[in-house]
């Protein structure tokens, strides 16, 4: 066996704006594992929020890629690399290679529902985007928000899409003192879930007041090791393979989180369809799926998944 990695840059069709900045391209690292005439492929999205870059991920990967030739297994990989983007790309490449070697047939489902994300913009622009998406058949909208014009933006989207289900993602940008009141206001506007309102290192206050709507941990939740700290603070966890370090830990996290009573969300970074295919096995286990990363790309990796009317289709 042999393995290699390389970086790719995928231009976005429009600027993607969240609370911590704007993006015009998706930078990914791809791992290929070759052996027995079969190629397994995995992809990760290095994230600066977690101290990652394309160069740092490739630097982490290289010694592990060399070990693949010596028979490195996915079980051994969990100890060799920490949870994060680098381990994700190799773990998913190995899993893909193993499945192909075993001749595993596609187990479905053929399609999954997905939210569609609205980047931060003016209230009127977000309302226009929401209206257009609903006309295309999207039924669940995820609003990226910072700490400005929160209610104005949500009200504008609600008025433009009265029948849509709304979830909010603040990406750690809200202050704690106004959060209880803001949660109630969002509930009154029909919001179904709030994702990561507070910084991950300052989220203890979430256990100090009753939550009128479910609060989901994203930046606060990476692996099973985080679960003891999250109990009493969050009702839901956003599982992303780039945080768990691959599908191996993602499955284990989902199992343990369900045993402890957490609801689940499956998320993604800005990525190609390769990354969504790797996460597909978890799709039927979660309440919310946020798999729209490839829809932001000007072009996608081949073969692309198909997105239509709020669903993503395997073929």
Catalytic residue among 142, 144, 155, 243: 144
The question of whether 240 is a catalytic residue gets the answer: yes
Residue showing tokens 């990406």 = 171
* Count of CA atoms in the C-beta half-sphere (13 A) of 138: 24
15, 119 contact by CB (below 8 A): yes
Would you tell me how many other CB atoms lie within 10 Å of the CB of residue 137? 11
Tokens at residue 294, please? 């490839």
* Count of CA atoms in the C-beta half-sphere (13 A) of 245: 21
Catalytic residue among 100, 142, 155, 240: 240
The question of whether 243 is a catalytic residue gets the answer: no
> Would you please indicate which residues are annotated as catalytic (active-site) residues?
144, 240
């Amino acid at each position: 066996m042999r393995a290699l990695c390389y970086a790719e840059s995928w231009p976005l069709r429009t600027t993607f704006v969240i609370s911590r900045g704007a993006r015009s391209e998706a930078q990914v690292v791809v791992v290929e594992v070759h052996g027995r005439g079969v190629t397994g492929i995995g992809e990760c999205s290095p994230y600066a929020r977690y101290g990652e870059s394309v160069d740092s991920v490739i630097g982490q990967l290289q010694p592990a890629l060399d070990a693949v030739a010596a028979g490195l297994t996915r079980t051994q990989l969990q100890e060799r690399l920490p949870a994060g983007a680098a381990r994700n790309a190799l773990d998913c490449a190995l899993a893909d290679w193993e499945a192909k070697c075993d001749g595993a047939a596609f187990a479905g489902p053929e399609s999954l529902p997905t939210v569609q994300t609205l980047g931060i913009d003016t209230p009127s622009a977000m309302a226009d985007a929401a209206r257009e998406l609903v006309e295309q058949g999207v039924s669940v909208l995820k609003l990226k928000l910072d700490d400005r014009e929160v209610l104005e933006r949500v009200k504008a989207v609600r008025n433009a899409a009265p029948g849509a289900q709304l979830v909010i993602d603040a990406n750690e940008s809200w202050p704690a003192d106004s959060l209880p009141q803001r949660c109630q206001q969002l509930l009154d506007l029909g919001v179904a879930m709030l994702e990561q309102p507070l910084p991950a290192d300052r989220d203890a206050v979430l256990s100090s007041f009753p939550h009128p709507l479910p609060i989901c941990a994203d930046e606060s939740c990476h692996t099973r090791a985080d679960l003891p700290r999250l109990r009493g603070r969050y009702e839901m966890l956003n599982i992303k393979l780039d945080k768990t370090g691959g599908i191996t830990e993602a499955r284990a996290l989902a199992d343990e989180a369900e045993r402890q009573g957490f609801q689940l969300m499956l998320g993604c970074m800005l990525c190609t369809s390769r990354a969504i295919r790797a996460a597909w096995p978890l799709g039927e286990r979660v309440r919310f799926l946020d798999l729209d990363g490839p829809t932001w790309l000007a072009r996608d990796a081949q073969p692309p998944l198909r997105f239509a009317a709020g669903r993503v289709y395997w073929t």
